[in-house]
Structure 1
Amino acid sequence: MKATLTRLGTLLVLGALVFSCAKHEDIQPDASLEATSQSADATRDSHLTMGNPSGAVASTSYPTNYLLSKSQYAMSYHRDRGIPNWVSWHLSSAWVGSTPRQDNFAADATLPSGWYRVTSSSYTGSGFDRGHNCPSADRTGSVADNSATFLMTNMMPQAPYNNQRAWANLENYCRTLINAGNELYIICGSYGTGGTGSAGYKTTLDAGRVTVPRRCWKVIVVLPEGSSDASRVTTSTRVIAIDTPNDQSVGTTWGSYRTSVDAIESATGYNILSAVSSTVQSTIEARVDNGPTS
């Protein structure tokens, strides 16, 4: 009888402990589990979901249209211009964190052996910014992600007013869109030769090894968070396209430089949203965005 009472007492004590623990967990849930749940909706998707605009190939047989794929973005690199033809990346809240800007500009050691590697000082004294294609602030999830945006293969010589005014304001606006529950596919690049920076007009830098582009462009596909993204693009999907002169005339209002995807494709020869249904493309690529700018 005494043994039975002892066992009963033990069970009651254990039950009280279980109840106490369960009650404590109800009041103070595990913060790490909560954070995981909050970030579960945002994903890091393929940077080429909307297509490969120039059909770039990761082969040295195509030095002017070389596909360079990184965890943080994908690009078509032009060896002879020393800049990308285009850079494509996915942007959602999953890519954004608290990592500070690294400012560690560096040559890209992943370029094929024997190719000239643009250095952090190649633009020095030129009057042009080392202009990011994929922005630093779009990749703040880790030091590695942010550092990847400072590789010189991700840069183009950009007039300071272009880079620091309309271009920067559009980048900031894109991040407000992901904060509102959207995910974006962004493709940007440049074309032509010759721009005007703070030190005047130039066609090349670094003893002719880096071409100064004449125009800088960007296309942004805006979707609510979800999956099967290319198939979710419809004729009502918002697509923002801008084309800016690479000079010091550029103002702060990026909306002034809106154009159609068709116009950019005509200027570059690219098929920018090639993975989207051709019938949908014909509508969204002809349209000029008139949505909000802030």
Structure 2
Amino acid sequence: MAHAQGIGSLAVGCIGLVFGVVATGSYYKYKEFLQQKSAVLLRYSPELPTESRIDLDVNFGLVYDRRNRIPLWTIEHLTRETIKPGIDVDRGKSNFCEDNNIHPFFRSSNADYAGMSSSGYDRGHLVPAANHRHSQHSMNNTFFLSNIAPQVGEGFNRDKWSHLERYVRALVKYYANLWVVSGPIFLPRREQDGKLYMKYEMIGANQVAVPTHFFKIIIGRTKDSHIDVLSYMLPNAPIDNDVPLETFLVPVDVLERNAGFLITNKFSKQDLRYINQPLPIDFKLFPPGQRRNSLPSPLPPQATLSEPSSSDV
């Protein structure tokens, strides 16, 4: 009891130092005082936060990094209905365009990606167009440049990253709901002097940052509320088609630390079933330039999945 009284006295004492009084309800007065002082302090501060949240569509949105002119991260909610092709939905009708939700100072433009055939960078979707082909409107919304980041074309955006996107769409067959968080990562490199340096390219007049890596976190929820998590990180570089996607699985906390956000605190460990145990879906890769309109039926998950180790949960 004495200990509790000591804590209470200390709290009231701190409030009393600000107001010069100790009275019932002083906490709320103190809170109001802080709000008033904060309004004065921040009168001419930059906007808070420096990132902008944008809901591009009912099933996907993003937080935009105005300094780097690319998404900080994107999030999608996928079901069998959202990935089902709609009537007369055609990717060829969609065009890349600037996002008017973003101040002109912080937008990227199509001109920034001009000459991408020589520079090696594609306008890479973080929310894939093919994930939202149930309507032309939704597919069009994936083409806002706020959803785009520079990606190496051959060997990455058109190949290994595309394979990962296809794998996500195949997973929808197994889960009642699927959430996908994707984004860029900038990792430092150790130079000859033994020190770590952050080095990445900027393209275009708006100085769009070229990420060193990209990540994708897949959260699948079953009808009985079990949750499976897969977390991938791929270098923004050509990757041989023979390298399996499983090579790029990393612990979720590695992505959290490097991407600068928490996601594992969003669900209960009691609901968590598997971490980084991918379903055995066989991808038969097509030659470059050929698109697949459908996916083969995956093998039953019971065929190879095992219980997670204690370190995974």
Aligned to 2:136: 143
Rounded Cα–Cα distance in structure 1 between residues aligned with 2:233 and 2:139:
26
Measured in 1, the distance between the counterparts of 2:202 and 2:240 equals 20
Establish whether residue 75 from structure 1 lines up as the match of residue 62 from structure 2. yes
Structure 1 residue 121: Cα displacement: 3.0
Question: Aligned equivalents of 1:247 and 1:240: distance in 2?
Answer: 21
User: Residue 254 in 1 paired to residue 245 in 2?
Assistant: yes
Q: Deviations over 1:207-265 (max 9, x none)?
A: 35200001100000112358xxxxx3x4xx32111101111235453222111211111
Q: The residue matched to 1:174 in structure 2 has which SS?
A: helix
Identify the match of residue 132 of structure 1 among 122, 125, 136. Answer: 125
Amino acid of the structure 2 residue aligned with 1:206: G
Matched, 1:288 2:276: yes
Q: Is contact 1:87-1:189 (8 Å) kept?
A: yes
Letter in 1 for 2:215: W
Correspondence for 1:105 = 96
Residue of structure 1 in register with 2:259 after alignment: 268
Asked if the contact 2:182–2:217 (Cα under 8 Å) also holds between the matched residues in 1, the reply is yes
Output the CA distance in 2 between the equivalents of 1:144 and 1:189: 23
Cα distance change of structure 1 residues 182 and 174 upon mapping to structure 2, 3 Å threshold: farther
Question: How far off its partner does 1:81 sit?
Answer: 0.1
Structure 1 position 239 matched with structure 2 position 229: yes
Deviations 1:118-157 (A, max 9, x none): 1223212231111100100011111110000011000111
Per the alignment, do residues 249 and 167 of structure 1 end up closer, same or farther by CA in structure 2, a change over 3 Å counting?
closer
User: Which blocks of at least 5 consecutive residues in structure 2 are unaligned?
Assistant: 1-45, 190-198, 283-313
Deviations 1:249-293 (A, max 9, x none): 35453222111211111222210244212x459x779x4334324
CA shift at 1:115, angstroms? Answer: 3.2
8 Å CA contact 2:78–2:178 kept in 1: the answer is yes
- Deviation, 1:180, is 4.4
5+ residue gaps, structure 1: 1-59, 196-200, 227-231
Query: AA paired with 1:213?
Result: P
* Residue equivalent to 2:76: 89
Number of aligned positions between the proteins: 218
Contact 2:112 2:206 in 1 (8 A): no
User: Hey, what's the Cα distance between the residues in 2 that align with 1:207 and 1:63?
Assistant: 25
Q: How many angstroms does 1:109 deviate by?
A: 1.2
SS in 2 for 1:70: strand
1:288 corresponds to which letter in structure 2?
N
Answer whether contact 2:122 2:150 (CA < 8 A) is retained.
Answer: yes
On the 8 A contact 1:86/1:189 being kept in 2, the answer is yes
Deviation at 1:193, TM superposition (A): 6.5
Q: CA 1:116/1:186 → structure 2, altered by over 3 Å: closer, same or farther?
A: same
One-letter amino acid of the structure 1 residue matched with residue 76 of structure 2: W
**Maintained 8 Å contact 1:187/1:218:** yes
Q: Is the 8 A contact 2:160 2:239 kept in 1?
A: no
Looking at both structures, which has the greater relative contact order when contacts are Cα pairs under 8 Å and sequence separation is at least 6?
1
Describe the SS at the equivalent of 2:112: coil
% same residue: 25
2:170 corresponds to which letter in structure 1? T
Alpha-carbon displacement from aligned partner over 1:144-195 (angstroms, at most 9, x marks no partner): 1000001100011111222122211121122122234542100010111799
Shift of 1:117: 2.1
Change beyond 3 A, Cα 1:87–1:77: same
Q: Does 1:210 align with 2:208?
A: yes
Counterpart-to-counterpart distance in 2, 1:119 and 1:280: 45
Are residues 267 and 157 of structure 1, via their aligned partners in 2, closer, same or farther at CA, if it must alter by over 3 Å? same
> Whole-Å Cα distance in 1 between the matches of residues 66 and 231 of structure 2?
26
Find the residue that maps to 1:121 and give its secondary structure: helix
Hey, what's the Cα distance between the residues in 1 that align with 2:188 and 2:94? 26
Matching residue of 2:180: 186
Larger Rg: 1
Distance 1:181 1:269, change over 3 A: closer
Go from structure 1 to structure 2 and tell me whether the alpha carbon gap of 1:240 and 1:171 turns closer, same or farther (over 3 Å shift).
same
TM-score normalised over the length of structure 1? 0.66
Specify the code of the residue in structure 1 equivalent to 2:276: V
Q: Does 94-103 or 80-89 show the bigger shift? A: 94-103
The counterpart of 1:61, out of the listed 34, 43, 47, is 47
